[in-house]
Structure 1
Amino acid sequence: MFLMKRNSWCIVLGIIWTLIFAGMSFYWAMGGLMGIKSLGGSIYEMSLNPSRSFVAIVWLTGFIKLLGVIFLLMLIIRWKKQIMNRMLYYTAKIGGAFLFLYGFLNFITILLNAFHILEFNLGPYATFWRLFFWEPYWMVGGVFYFFSVKRIFLKI
């Protein structure tokens, strides 16, 4: 039998993490510029004089991020159908692993850029913030999602 134990702390922290993450997108979509320089590269350049399609994409990413809150809230419900428990369990594990790996791999590539092993358009300011805030932020979110559920094995 498949049973899923929920980790309330990780679910709550994951919801807070996701709301902050989505909130940043909504702030930037409304024209806010605080913190945008820390992203660097072409995203920073496009945000200085954004096209309508760029703003629409930023709004869309905010709403997509909010889907994470809905997902985490779904973990709180005690589902009677085993298939729903399995789907939520594996989605949390795969999604959490993806978020962590995305941040980790970006961290590695930006670190390689900082040591001039790789070269891309990212100044020292953005490099600092990407290494000490943005990529670790992705990784922390991945940890919250990954550890929000645990599988329990029953001997029958």
Structure 2
Amino acid sequence: MGQRLSTNSWFIYLGIIWSVIFSAMSFYWAMGGRLGVKSLGGAIYEMSLNPSSSFLVLVWLTGFMKLLGAGLLVLVLVRRNNSKLLFYTVKIAGAFLFLYGALNFITISLHALNILEYNLDDYATFWRLAFWEPYWMAGGVFYFLSVKRA
């Protein structure tokens, strides 16, 4: 008998919206869009100024991974699947998304306080702390809270 799961519909839909917006940004940049790319800073910004074909392929792939790998994971929950594997996969994905954002936030904060040397200008540092890392953490929260045991 499979484990019974309960879903939190609002967090499922927030997770889907989060994934679609996140992947759309990658697709926009892969097609040559520049709006917001400076806020990433560091090597990613430098590579985006004169992108090689392999860099563009990588940006396209990250867009598809965000959309298909992450978005579909949460979308499957809409079907109210009772899989124990699905429960743990979504919980672990949420935890990793949150931890990725949180660890980056800590690292970049230490850079902003001149404790760590990091290849980010002030503009990118601001946007990474004000938007990008909290965005990762929000996605993690949406995923993690989208499913619970009944």
Question: Which residue number corresponds to residue 31 of structure 2?
Answer: 30
Question: Which residue number corresponds to residue 91 of structure 1?
Answer: 89
Matched position secondary structure for 1:101: helix
How far residue 114 of structure 1 moved from its aligned partner, in angstroms, is: 0.4
Matched position secondary structure for 1:50: coil
Percent pairwise identity:
68
| Structure 1 position 71 matched with structure 2 position 67 | no
How far residue 78 of structure 1 moved from its aligned partner, in angstroms, is: 3.5
Question: Which residue number corresponds to residue 55 of structure 1?
Answer: 56
Q: Amino acid of the residue matched to residue 75 of structure 1? A: L
- Paired residues in the alignment total 148
Normalising by structure 2, report the TM-score: 0.96
Residue segments in structure 2 that go unaligned for 5+ positions in a row: none
Residue segments in structure 1 that go unaligned for 5+ positions in a row: none
Aligned residues: CA RMSD: 1.0
Q: What CA distance in whole angstroms lies between the structure 1 residues aligned with 2:101 and 2:118? A: 17
Q: Amino acid of the residue matched to residue 77 of structure 2? A: L
How far residue 62 of structure 1 moved from its aligned partner, in angstroms, is: 0.2
How far residue 77 of structure 1 moved from its aligned partner, in angstroms, is: 1.5
Normalising by structure 1, report the TM-score: 0.92
How far residue 33 of structure 1 moved from its aligned partner, in angstroms, is: 0.4
Q: What CA distance in whole angstroms lies between the structure 1 residues aligned with 2:80 and 2:11? A: 17
Q: Per-residue CA shift, 1:78-134, capped at 9, x if unaligned?
A: 33xx5xx10110011100000000000000000000011110110000000000000
Question: Which residue number corresponds to residue 138 of structure 2?
Answer: 140
Q: What CA distance in whole angstroms lies between the structure 1 residues aligned with 2:5 and 2:149? A: 5
Matched position secondary structure for 2:108: helix
**Structure with max Cα Rg:** 1
How far residue 145 of structure 1 moved from its aligned partner, in angstroms, is: 0.2
